[in-house]
Structure 1
Amino acid sequence: MLYPAPVLSAADGQVLAEIDEMRHSLRHRLQAGPAKWVMGLRDFLTADAVAASNTIEGFRVSTVDVQDLMAGERDVDVSDENREETLAYLRMMTYVQSLHDVPDFAYSKGLLNSLHWMLQGHRHTRDKVAGQWRRGSVYVTDGGNRRSVAYTAPDAAEVPRLMAELVEWLNADCSDHPLVRAAMAHLQLVSIHPWPDGNGRMSRSLQTLVISREGVLAPEFSSIEAWLGRSQNTWSYYLELKRRGATYRPDQDVSSWIRFNLTAYHQQAQAVQGEASRSAAVWDLLLSFAGSAGLDERMVSALHDVAVHDRVRRARYEQAEGLTLQQAQRDLRDLVAAGLLEPVGRTRARYYTEGPRFPERVLEVARTPMTLSRPYPDALG
């Protein structure tokens, strides 16, 4: 038996309508935006989601470091373990993102196990198998105390049946709103806990995959992983899962879980809209500045990274603009000579921050924080 989706309240319906409106508005804005700007925003949101989801599991790599790893940078100051976990999650999430428009797509146990192998294959052992259902008991500890168990997952013998039921449910026609269905998919998978490890990230990734199959927005614009990764929200996430009880009890009302997820969707949509507005404003200001300063327009992407993400590396700039190594190096040297960039570090580990002549107005717009509103009067925000 799986958790049944609850009946939405009038307040839930209103919040869901507001989320839909924000998402459709963002879709039209992205369709009208410059391709390079849209791609840069997509890369940032992907990196932010990966960094946040890994942080929940204790693997700490900043969003800007994830961006550098995405660009193929080798000299990023992260531990070997964090690098490996980040690259594994990136590979898995890249595949999840690519499935959004596959015409003959279907969920299957093989697909879910393959995604798990991408995530956990580097940790595969005889005792902790990757890409296969667990063979023994699994417990979720309470607050990191290994002797205090917050949740005991269903018996291993029940996992194949429960996962078959989940796959059937995922493939079935359903009248539930896709965002509600995605939230329920997350809850179903994390509660079954079918693998020895990686269940949290897999459940959040399944939620993203269900959203992406809806087709309104590319998955990186709808994932709530970045929202969940903020410390206060992570704590609330654990508390909400804890409400479900210490054992698998799918015959319960999960209205609070849906309300929690609708809050996450709403605030993440606000955050993405704010990021898009800020990023677009910075891009336009830099285009104008580049024209007046006699800079090549392609240099805008390097200056934009510095303004919005605090730094740029040569490899990321080279990749974003399709340049040769020599062209990228020459452009960055010219920007340093003009006082617009400041190099930090040497040789391959070097990156660039704003120089003394970087336009102040651009930095002011880029670094003005935004405030998120609460969709429910008593919701965390």
Structure 2
Amino acid sequence: MQWNWQQKDWPNFRYDNAALDALETQFLKQSGVVVGTLKHIESDAKDDLVIDLISTEAIKTSEIEGEFLNRDSVQASIRRNFGLDASGKRPTPAEQGIAEMMTALYQTFDDPLSDAMLFQWHKMLTSGRTDLNDIGCYRTHAEPMQIVSGADYAPNIHYEAPPSAQVGEEMARFIEWFNASQSMPPLTRASIAHLYFECIHPFEDGNGRIGRAIAEKALSQNLGQPTLLALSHAIQSKKKAYYANLEQSNKTLDLTDWITYFAGTILEAQRYSLQLIEFLIAKTKLYDRLQGQLNERQDKVIARMFREGPEGFKGGLSADNYMSITSAPRATTTRDLADLVAKGALIKTGERRYTRYWLKLDTEYQN
């Protein structure tokens, strides 16, 4: 089998511009909607919104790699990185590292890509790791860099990247292309950048997270501001399709199908980001409306419901959920929930043991 980097025209990728025009137009249109929505948010609330969005992306890009992090710890780390007050659980090295990388991505999106930038991202991602030989530099191991599944005695090789000896040259060419390609349409550039980087697979570990960061950097540069895009959330929700499309595209230089797929994923991520922005705006409005009206138990439950995001509790909040969160007895729980409904904080559905509660939000995305 011949991989794309082994073909004589590598890395001269081909694609059908006309097939992508409608997707590029939709992206620019939706970007305008996101920017317009953000303009209606006050400065302090915008800080919270940005941190929520970056935290979501940090958590999800790690989940794609099978690493599950504590959201409160990641968010507290990001708040500290932004110079804001932060408290909560002490982060693990992995939580601190992804928080630092996502903050750097946001704050330096317009800086040219460089080896030094990528090495710094890699050091952040691998903070605390003792199982890697190459940290903060490209891989040097002599054995093939392969993506493999199955048993050791019958491995299924999904991809084999260029040997380590070629990585320096390949990355020099990639970085030169990336920094010279800002005139390309944003979806096309981001899609190619992500696949191109993943095909080189230059690091011993962390290539997926850095590759997705590069795609977001490309989009931010084309728009002239951070995208605040929930890209990893969209990928994580359909992870099998993501890996299948990567595998299908590592054997060809015609990237029309790959760009169409990845552009669609970006548009889905953009729609979710707008949904999350409107959800967070609704959160601010609800808290403003209920200021000083909630007891400690109610405040704890409302905060817990908001942490579930726009989708809310699966199946809605039950009285048992409330009791578990607050340790309140059933009679108190019944009074608290009835009071929250009366104050317009919650909507009640169902009866008896099927009774469920949902946040009452001033947004089209409410449950």
- Give the TM bin, normalised by the shorter chain: 0.7 to 0.9
- Contact 1:100–1:215 (Cα < 8 Å) also in 2: no
AA aligned to 1:139 is Q
Name the CA shift for 1:176/1:370 in 2 (closer, same or farther; >3 Å).
Answer: farther
Name the CA shift for 1:252/1:118 in 2 (closer, same or farther; >3 Å): same
Which of 140, 155, 158 matches 1:147?
155
Percent of counterpart pairs with the same letter?
Answer: 20
Does the alignment pair 1:119 with 2:125?
yes
The equivalent of 1:97 in structure 2 is 106
Partner residue in 1 for 2:138: 133
Structure 2 unaligned residues grouped into runs of 5+: 1-9, 79-85, 310-321, 328-335, 348-357
Letter in 1 for 2:275: G
Which of the residues 227, 233, 237 maps onto 1:226?
Answer: 233
Q: TM-score, length-normalised on structure 1?
A: 0.71
- Which residue in 1 is equivalent to 2:213? 205
Whole-angstrom CA distance in 1 between matches of 2:361 and 2:40: 21
For residues 366 and 67 of structure 1, the distance between their equivalents in structure 2, rounded to whole angstroms, comes to 25
Q: Is the 8 A contact 1:54 1:86 kept in 2?
A: no
Residues 193 and 199, structure 1, Cα contact 8 Å, conserved in 2: yes
Deviation of 1:27 after TM superposition, in Å, equals 0.5
State the one-letter code of the partner of 1:21. Answer: K
Residue in structure 2 matching 1:29, options 30, 34, 37: 37
Give the gaps of 5 or more residues in structure 1: 77-82, 296-300, 312-339, 346-354, 372-381
Does the CA contact (< 8 Å) of 2:61 and 2:232 recur in 1? yes
Instruction: Quickly say closer, same or farther: Cα 1:38–1:342, change in 2 above 3 A.
Output: farther
Q: What SS does the corresponding residue of 1:365 show, helix, strand or coil?
A: coil
What is aligned with 2:346? 360
The residue aligned with 1:238 is: 243
The CA deviation string for residues 24-63 of structure 1, in whole angstroms up to 9 with x for no partner, is 1111221221223322221221111111111111111364
1:266 is aligned to 267
Indicate how the Cα distance of structure 1 residues 272 and 135 shifts in structure 2: closer, same or farther if over 3 A, else same.
same
Q: CA deviation at 1:75?
A: 6.2
Distance 1:367 1:344, change over 3 A: farther
1:307·1:363 contact (CA, 8 Å) conserved in 2? yes
When residues 129 and 33 of structure 1 are mapped into structure 2, their CA distance, relative to the original with a 3 A threshold, is same
In 2, distance between residues paired with 1:264 and 1:154?
A: 27
Please state how far the C-alpha of 1:166 moved relative to its aligned partner: 0.5
Counting matched residue pairs gives 312
**Structure 1 partner of 2:258:** 257
Distance 2:243 2:362 in 1: 33
Q: Does 1:195 align with 2:184?
A: no
- Aligned twin of 2:355: none
* Alpha-carbon separation, structure 2, partners of 1:187 and 1:253: 12
Alignment check: 8 A CA contact 1:5 1:184 kept: no
- CA spacing shift, 1:138–1:309, aligned 2, 3 Å: same
Distance (Å, rounded) in 2 between the aligned partners of 1:2 and 1:144 = 32
The C-alpha deviation readout for 1:152-204, integer Å capped at 9, x for no partner, is 11111111110010111112145311232122111111110111111111111
Superimposed CA distance per residue, residues 207-234 of structure 1 (whole angstroms, 9 cap, x where no aligned partner): 1222222344423x2251111122xx11
CA distance, structure 2, for counterparts of residue 344 and residue 144 of structure 1 = 47
Question: Paired residue for 2:180, among 147, 172, 179?
Answer: 172
How far apart in 2 are the matches of 1:75 and 1:341?
27
Call closer, same or farther: CA 1:286–1:123 in 2, change over 3 Å: closer
Q: Counterpart of 1:128 in 2: which secondary structure?
A: coil
Amino acid at match of 1:50: A
Kept in 1, the 8 Å contact 2:73–2:88? The answer is no
Distance 1:218 1:226, change over 3 A: same
Question: How far did residue 272 of structure 1 move?
Answer: 1.5
User: What is the aligned partner in structure 1 of residue 17 from structure 2?
Assistant: 8
Inter-partner Cα distance in structure 1 for 2:180 and 2:191 = 16
Distance in 2 (alpha carbons) for counterparts of 1:120 and 1:107: 20
Structure 1 pair 367/273, CA: closer, same or farther in 2 (3 Å)?
A: closer
The DSSP-based 3-state class of the residue aligned with 1:93 is: helix
Instruction: Please give the alpha-carbon distance, in whole angstroms, between the structure 2 residues aligned to 1:310 and 1:254.
Output: 37
**Is the 2:305–2:359 Cα contact (8 Å) retained in structure 1?**
yes
Residue identity opposite 1:74 in structure 2: K
RMSD: 3.5
Q: For the structure 1 residues 62 and 236, does the alpha-carbon distance in structure 2 shift closer, same or farther, using more than 3 Å as the test?
A: farther
Correspondent of 1:160 among 141, 148, 168: 168
Taking the aligned partners of 2:28 and 2:118, their CA distance within structure 1 comes to 28
1:226 partner letter? H
- For the residue of structure 1 that corresponds to 2:157, the secondary structure is strand
Q: Distance in 2 between matches of 1:237 and 1:153?
A: 18
Deviation at 1:3, TM superposition (A): 4.8
Structure 1 window deviating more from structure 2 (262-271 vs 106-115): it is 106-115
- The 3 A distance-change label for structure 1 pair 213 and 49 is same
Give a deviation string over 1:241-280, Cα, whole Å, max 9, x none: 11024xxx5x620111111111111111111222222332
Match of 1:308 in 2: 306
Is the alpha carbon distance of 1:216 and 1:143 closer, same or farther for their aligned partners in structure 2, counting shifts above 3 Å? farther
Q: Which amino acid aligns with 1:261?
A: F
- Alignment of structure 1 residues 47-62 onto 2, 5 Å: 47-61=55-69
